[in-house]
Amino acid sequence: MDIIISASPLYAVLVSLLAVVLIGVSGKNPNLRESWTIVAALIKFSIVVSMLPKILDGKIIEYTVFTMMPGLDLALRVDPLSMFFALTASLLWIITAFYCIGYMRAGKEKNQTRFYMCFAVALSGALGIAFSANLFTLFVFYEILTLCTYPLVVHKQTPEAVRGARRYLTYLLGTSIAFQLSAIFLTYFYAGTLEFTAGGILAGSASNTVITIIFVLFVMGIGKTAIMPFHAWLPAAMVAPTPVSALLHAVAVVKAGVFTLIKVILYVFGVDLLQELGLGVALAYVAAFTIIVASIMALRQDNLKLRLAYSTVGQLSYIIMAVALLTPSGITSALIAVMIHAFGKITLFFTAGAIYIAAHKTKVSELDGIGKQMPFTMFAFTVGALSMVAVPPAAGFISKWYLLLGAFEAHQLVLIGAIVVSTLLNAAYYLPIVYAAFFKPVPLGEGTEMHEAPALMVAPLVFTAIGTLVLFLWPTLLFDLAKLVLASVMGGY
C-alpha cells in the first residue's frame, strides 16, 4: 500500500471555507455571491476527482495538518472508503448550488448570504469527515457540520423553525457530546491511539464488556445515523428550506452519520472483533427494527417532506444493517448505498421543493394529477421512488440486492424477512404518490397545462434522476472502490 503525502485533501476541505469569505464579502451582489458558490463547488469536485485515479491505483493520500496536543493530530487521509462519501457530497453540491439559486430566489428568502456561507461550511465539514484520518479529526468535522447546519435549519426564524432547529441541535450535539465523546475518551484511554486502522485498534486492548460499552456508546453517539430512538431530529429538521433538507438531510448530514459509523465499525473495532462479540448482529437487529418502524411511520405522513424524512430514517438503517452484517456483500452494499441513496433521495427532495415552489403544495393528498402539470418533476420523482423501493432500472436495486446477499451470507433469515417486508412498505408509501400524480384526475379548478418550477430547479432534479439510472447501468466505479475497501478491511476478497 503506497502512501502519498499530499495536501490536496486539505485544499478540497478548505476551498469552501475560502468561498465562505468571498460569499460574505460579496453579500451585496447576489450574482457574484452565487457564482462564488458554484466556482468553489466545481473546484472542490475537481480536486476530489483528481485524487480518484491514485486511489483506484491502490494508493492512499495522507496529510497531517497540525498536531494539536500529543496524541491528537488533525490529519487527513484519502482512501477508497472516503472516496464514496467525498465524491457524493462534492458532486451533489454542484447540483444543489444551482438548485438553491432557483429555490431561494423563487421563494424570495431572507438572509441568503448567511445561508450560502453556512452551506459552504457544511460542505467543508462533510469533506473533512470523509477525509479524516483519525477519530479526533472526524469528531472535529462532525461537530462543525452540526453547528454550521443549525443556521440553515433555523433559516426561516419562525417560532416553529426555532423549535425544530432546537430539537435538531439537541439530538445531534447532545448525542455527540454525551455518548460519542465518551466513546472517544474510552477508545483513546484503552487503545492509546485514535488512528483509523484497517482491522481496528481496540482488539485486545480492553475487556469484552468495555468494548461492548464503547460500541454501544458509538452507536448512540453518532446521532446523525438517525437510528431509533435517536431519529426524531430528522423529521424536526424538515422545517428547513428544501435545498437544505435535500443536501444536508439526504446527503451530507445523514451520510456523514452512516459514513462515521461505517468507519468506526471497520477501522476502530474491526470486522473480526465485532463478529467475535456478536455486536454486528445486534446492531443489525436494531437497524431492522428502525427500518420497519420508520416505514410504518412514513406511511402515515401526509406531508411530503415528512414522508421523505421517515423514508430517510429507514433507508439509513439499510446501510447500517448492511455494514453490521460484517460480510463482504453486506459491506459492499453499505458502501455503494452511500452514493446510490444520495442520488435517489436528493432527487425526491428536489421534486418536493419544486412542487412547493411551482404549485405551493406540501401534502401528499394534494398531488392528484400533478404529473400533467409538472411532467419532468414527476418523472424524476418516479425514478427516485423506484430507487428507494429497489426496482430496476433504478440504482437502489443494486444496493438492496447486495444487502440481501449479505444477509444470506450471514445466515440471518429474520433480517431477510425484515428486508422483504420493508420493501413492500416502501412500495406502499411511494408508489401511490406516483399513481396519483399520473393517473388520478386533476382536481377541479386547476388547469392541466404545464406549470413547471424554474429551469434552475428542474434541470438539477432531472440530472440527479438520470444519475440514478446511470449508476444502475454503469456501477463499475462503485464496485472497484468497494473491492479496494474490502481488500483492506477483510484481508482480501
Binding site for other proteins (CB under 8 A): 66-70, 72, 74, 136, 139-140, 143, 147, 151, 154, 157-158, 162, 165-166, 169, 173-174, 177-178, 181-182, 185-186, 188-189
Tell the smallest beta-carbon distance from residue 181 to other proteins (Å): 6
| Phi then psi dihedrals of residue 301, to 5 deg | -85, 135
For the bound state, the minimum distance from the C-beta of residue 97 to other proteins, rounded and expressed in Å, comes to 24
| CB nearer to other proteins: pick between 67 and 365 | 67
- Residue 346 CB, nearest distance to other proteins (Å)? 26
Instruction: Decide whether 223 or 406 has the Cβ nearer to other proteins.
Output: 223
Give the nearer residue to other proteins in terms of CB position, either 68 or 420. Answer: 68
The residue among 318, 345, 281 whose CA lies nearest residue 400 is 318
The nearest distance, CB 165 to other proteins, in angstroms, is: 7
Whole-angstrom distance, CA of residue 448 vs CA of residue 212: 59
Comparison of 52 and 173: residue with beta carbon closer to other proteins: 173
CB of 244 closer than 8 Å to CB of 149: yes
**CB-side exposure of 123: number of CA atoms within 13 Å?**
36
31 vs 124: CA distance, rounded Å: 22
**d(C-alpha 234, C-alpha 256), whole Å:** 14
Cα distance between residue 174 and residue 219, in whole Å: 13
Question: Which is nearer to other proteins, 165 or 339 (by Cβ)?
Answer: 165
Residue 246: which of 463, 81, 34 has the closest Cα? 463
Shorter beta-carbon distance to other proteins: residue 66 or 492: 66
When the beta carbons of 191 and 462 are compared against other proteins, the nearer one is 191
- Phi and psi at residue 63, to the nearest 5°: -160, 120
In whole angstroms, the minimum distance from the beta carbon of 281 to other proteins comes to 27
Question: How near is the Cβ of 341 to other proteins at its closest, in Å?
Answer: 28
CB of 166 to other proteins, least distance (A): 7
Residue number, 189 or 439, with CB nearest to other proteins: 189
Instruction: Give whichever of 194 and 247 is closer to other proteins, judged by the CB atom.
Output: 194
Quote the cell numbers at residue 248: 444536508
Pairing of strands 72-78, 60-69: antiparallel
The nearest distance, CB 194 to other proteins, in angstroms, is: 11
> Alpha carbon of 159 to those of 75, 155, 165, 166, 173: distances in Å?
40, 11, 10, 10, 20
Question: Are the beta carbons of 202 and 191 closer than 8 angstroms?
Answer: yes
CB-wise, 70 or 447, nearer to other proteins? 70
* Residue 228 parent element (H or E): none
CB of 178 to other proteins, least distance (A): 5
Reduced to 3 states (helix: H, G, I; strand: E, B; else coil), residue 23 is helix
Q: What 3-state DSSP class applies to 442?
A: coil
- What are the CB-based long-range contacts (under 8 Å, 24+) for 201-204? 201/267, 201/268, 201/270, 202/268, 202/269, 202/270, 202/273, 203/269, 203/270, 203/272, 203/273
Question: In the bound complex, what is the minimum distance in angstroms from residue 1's beta carbon to other proteins?
Answer: 29
